[in-house]
């Protein structure tokens, strides 16, 4: 059984305006006093308008769901005590100014001194899934195999269409913002664990990056735990969608490690093809054709999802994850991912509606009743 753990990053928004506010330390200190939370479960993030939570190691998706719901509920209550909202959007939708102070740690201060503008524009939040691996060699093999799946994961998880009060035209603007760091995007192929370790430490030893924490690939090996960490996802509007993505990734990992014959065995995709596929996923999300990890081609979302679920069905059944993954993927194809729903809510209920949505409020009317589904799909066309 592949164990999983999930980290989620959140924004703190002013309750009246929806603008990011630098209250992370106050909220974190109050959260530490809540009996539902352990002090180690809430951490600082780069900017003082961000916080991160981490679940314990989980064996079931039910555990993941219970922990994420508990963490969001308790942290939302702490935020409310300080006049702000805990927001699950991959990027700050509104901002009167983009500069929020960095958290007061030596590492974060050094990062801003090195790349001030990039640091100031990191008002983005993601979701990371840790997949347990038996050893580092297996982790590198899985990392190589996961590369072709990352564009699909970016598309499904896209939840950051707005930036500084403007619709970017992208479904995941967070992906674009993060791609500007020197070691980012889809990881390269590695020739085993020794090659991986030698190459990442060479980046540090030559001074090109400050430490291995600045490996901002969309997937990487953890240096602290026996896990592979997938970092390609925007934080999700709903916890059940975060759970679905966790289950989907676990099924890929389980299949690769236990039944690799079910997955593509051809040559590894070229890096330029995967980079272009990630850009396409960030731009369109699920509103256009999806990159099929099994064929390397673009196809309709239903066709890609059907083929993916057929391939992963044994692993989903083995972990008893089918009910947590399949209906949620089907709902996502019907209702749209977070980016689609953010745009829909903004159009229907304006700024206040969108702020309420990303901070856990109810969504607008039934999307089946929308008079203009084409506009829902991509209002920039």
pLDDT at 97: 62
Residue 295 within a domain: yes
pLDDT tens column, 137-166: 999 999 999 999 999 999 999 999 999 899
pTM listed for this prediction: 0.94
Give a yes or no: residue 362 inside a domain. Answer: no
Q: Which residues of the chain have pLDDT under 50?
A: 364-381
Judged on CB neighbours under 10 Å (0-12, 13-18, 19+), 2 is buried
Phi, psi angle pair for 115, to nearest 5°:
-145, 75
CATH of the domain at 28: 3.30.590.20
What domain count does the chain have? 1
The reply to whether 367 falls in a domain is no
379 in a structural domain? no
How many other C-beta atoms can be found within 10 angstroms of the C-beta atom of residue 106?
A: 7
Range of the domain at 146: 4-352
From the list 306, 186, 326, the residue with the least C-alpha distance to 247 is 326
CA distance linking residue 4 with residue 14, whole number of Å: 33
The per-residue pLDDT for 266 is 77
List of E strands, 276-315? 290-291, 298-299
In this prediction, residue 320 carries a pLDDT of 97
- Do the Cβ atoms of 19 and 27 come closer than 8 Å? no
Distance CA 13, CA 21 (A): 6
DSSP string, 16-63: TT--B-S-HHHHHHHHHTSTT--GGGEEE-SBTTEEEEE---BSSHHH
pLDDT in tens, 62-85: 999 999 999 999 999 999 999 999
Is residue 376 assigned to a domain? no
What's CA 256's distance to the chain center, in Å? 21
Between CA 224 and CA 229, with CA 225 as vertex, the angle to 5 degrees is 100
Number of helices and strands in the chain (H, E) = 14, 13
pLDDT at residue 34, as a whole number: 77
Residue 365 lies inside a defined structural domain of this protein: no
In a domain, 359, yes or no: no
Inside any domain, residue 264:
yes
């Amino acid at each position: 059984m592949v164990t999983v753990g999930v980290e989620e990053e959140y924004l703190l928004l002013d309750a009246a305006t929806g603008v990011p506010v630098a209250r992370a330390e106050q909220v974190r200190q109050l959260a530490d006093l809540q009996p539902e939370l352990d002090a180690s479960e809430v951490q600082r993030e780069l900017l003082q308008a961000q916080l991160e939570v981490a679940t314990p190691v989980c064996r079931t998706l039910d555990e993941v769901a219970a922990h994420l719901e508990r963490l969001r509920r308790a942290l939302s209550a702490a935020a409310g005590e300080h006049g702000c909202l805990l927001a699950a959007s991959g990027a700050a939708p509104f901002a009167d100014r983009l500069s929020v102070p960095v958290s007061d740690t030596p590492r974060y201060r050094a990062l801003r001194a090195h790349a001030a503008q990039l640091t100031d524009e990191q008002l983005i939040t993601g979701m990371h899934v840790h997949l347990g691996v038996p050893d580092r060699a297996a982790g590198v093999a899985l990392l190589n195999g996961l590369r072709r799946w990352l564009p699909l994961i970016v598309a499904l998880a896209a939840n950051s269409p707005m930036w500084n009060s403007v619709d970017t035209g992208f479904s995941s603007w967070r992906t674009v913002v993060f791609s500007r760091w020197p070691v980012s995007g889809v990881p390269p192929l590695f020739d085993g664990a020794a090659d991986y370790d030698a190459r990442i430490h060479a980046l540090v030893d030559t001074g090109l990056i400050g430490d291995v924490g600045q490996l901002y690939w969309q997937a990487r090996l953890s240096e602290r735990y026996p896990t592979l960490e997938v970092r390609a996802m925007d934080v999700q509007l709903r916890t059940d969608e975060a759970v679905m993505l966790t289950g989907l990734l676990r099924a890929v990992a389980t299949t690769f490690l236990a039944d690799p014959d079910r997955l593509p065995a051809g040559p590894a995709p070229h890096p330029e093809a995967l980079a272009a596929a990630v850009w396409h996923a960030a731009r369109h999300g699920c509103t256009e054709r999806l990159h099929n990890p099994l064929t390397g081609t673009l196809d309709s979302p239903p066709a890609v999802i059907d083929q993916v679920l057929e391939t992963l069905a044994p692993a989903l059944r083995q972990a008893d994850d089918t009910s947590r993954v399949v209906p949620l993927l089907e709902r996502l194809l019907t209702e749209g991912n977070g980016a689609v729903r953010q745009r829909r809510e903004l159009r229907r209920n304006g700024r206040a509606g969108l702020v309420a949505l990303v901070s856990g409020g109810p969504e607008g009317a039934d999307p089946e009743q929308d008079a203009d589904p084409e506009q829902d799909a991509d209002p920039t066309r």
